[in-house]
Structure 1
């Protein structure tokens, strides 16, 4: 790898950790960087899951007070996320690269549109803490299957769906989202490593950057407007969508 590519991979890892901590969308950045590095789609997707993980861990730790206050509800949704994340990752490994590549532009287009619509998918602020309902459990199962399979836009999907089905304030929902994303990524990583589809040289460059970005992102989420980060993610998602449609 050239120094420029190493720098791009490191920067994308850091920014992905930051934007995941704020709302979601970091997979767009890492998947895009890995695509530019010449990694095959399934391997790029699996490696992105590994890269996101440290950022999810550090942002979850930064939100630990909010999570502890609602640990029972978080535990139930974590179990659901293990099941869904494993199912999604196994579905991915059942495909070959040409088959996965054929659906990547459609997944990217849908995820980019959902992420762009994030400001209009406002959570229901009924009460301070999210409260589990049958709808929130089913919705989290579906979201975690998607997250294990692809993951781009998973964060904003969880914020929107859990906000509508479980309620809660933004920071309590964001804390829960980071925890559940960490669980989904952890399960997917075990399956992807077992399947031998991880691009380790690129992953080792991006992992520490993702951890630093995850912790920094919580600081930004508490203090900085999200518009600029959202615009960057939407721009990257749009560019990736066009690239995969044109080259497909």
Structure 2
């Protein structure tokens, strides 16, 4: 019962956090591993758990989503699906040992991106003249990362959007949540077919993440980011250390 409560609280907070800025996996993945789920299955279950939260978060930014050209959204969706499928298939061939070797590096990189997200976006925005707006290559690579390991995906996407020259954070958040939902759709399908999902935990967390996603949209317009960013960074650095210790 205590394990279930930990997972529900983590999923609710992750759903809200993913809508606000990203980084919800820093809460769901540690919670799953803490309650005894093996690393690869925990990663897949975490992706399933936050999946509906992206949908509710995207609905919260529906006005911003409608401001994008439909043909552009369709092209970005197709690129995201291709990258997500590639990343998800890579996870299927990863053993717990291989994933445990790779994930500290991914966690550390995602945490640094999360912690310095604003600076990265500012740096990227200052150099957008050299980058093709809405380019497929960058989105494809980010989608591979998201299909394999979801941690910090939202912040990576926001940095990519800044590279494209986007400046309206609400439109960026709407697009981030929409593409994250698309990415998670293919990941969930691949993981479910492969039998990598711990469904009792996933179902309870999906409900909590959905509720958190609805809460997250209004929070995104009012919550100060500094304290939240430091908390999630601490969790990310802590989990990187935990995975490194587990190797020895």
Instruction: Give the structure-1-normalised TM-score.
Output: 0.93
What are the within-5 Å matches in structure 2 for residues 54-203 of structure 1?
Answer: 54-70=52-68, 71-122=70-121, 124=125, 133=132, 136-203=135-202
1:44 maps to 42
Distance in 1, matches of 2:203 and 2:80, equals 26
Report the Cα distance in structure 2 between the residues aligned to 1:226 and 1:163, rounded to whole angstroms. 18
Query: For residue 226 of structure 1, what is the aligned residue in structure 2?
Result: 225
Moved more, 159-168 or 81-90: 159-168
**Is the 8 Å Cα contact of residues 140 and 162 (structure 1) preserved in structure 2?**
no
Deviations 1:35-57 (A, max 9, x none): 10111111011001101111100
2:151 is paired with a residue of what secondary structure? Answer: coil
Deviation at 1:134, TM superposition (A): 6.0
- Does the CA contact (< 8 Å) of 1:17 and 1:55 recur in 2? yes
Does residue 6 of structure 2 align to residue 8 of structure 1? yes
**Residue equivalent to 1:129:** none
Q: What number of residue pairs does the alignment pair up? A: 241
TM-score w.r.t. length of structure 2: 0.93
Q: How far off is 1:211 after superposition?
A: 0.3
| Alpha carbons 1:136, 1:161 under 8 Å: kept | no
Displacement after TM superposition at 1:189 (Å) = 0.4
Distance 1:207 1:145 in 2: 23
Contact 2:133 2:165 in 1 (8 A): no
**Residues 103-161 of structure 1: per-residue CA shift (max 9 Å, x gap):** 111111111111111121225399xxxxx946632111110000000010111000011
Q: SS in structure 2 opposite 1:174?
A: helix
SS at match of 1:122: helix
Unaligned 5+ segments in structure 1 are 127-131
What per-residue deviation string (whole Å, max 9, x for no partner) do you get for residues 179-206 of structure 1? Answer: 0000000000000001000011111221
Aligned to 1:22: 20
RMSD over aligned Cα atoms: 1.7
CA displacement 1:164-223 (0-9 Å, x = unmatched): 124241110110010000000000000000100001111122111100111111110011
The whole-number CA distance in structure 1 between the counterparts of 2:226 and 2:216 is 14
Residue by residue over 1:6-48, the C-alpha shift from the partner in whole angstroms, topping out at 9 and shown as x without a partner, is: 1110010001001100111001100000010111111011001
Unaligned runs of at least 5 residues, structure 2: none
> Which residue pairs with 2:33 in the alignment?
35
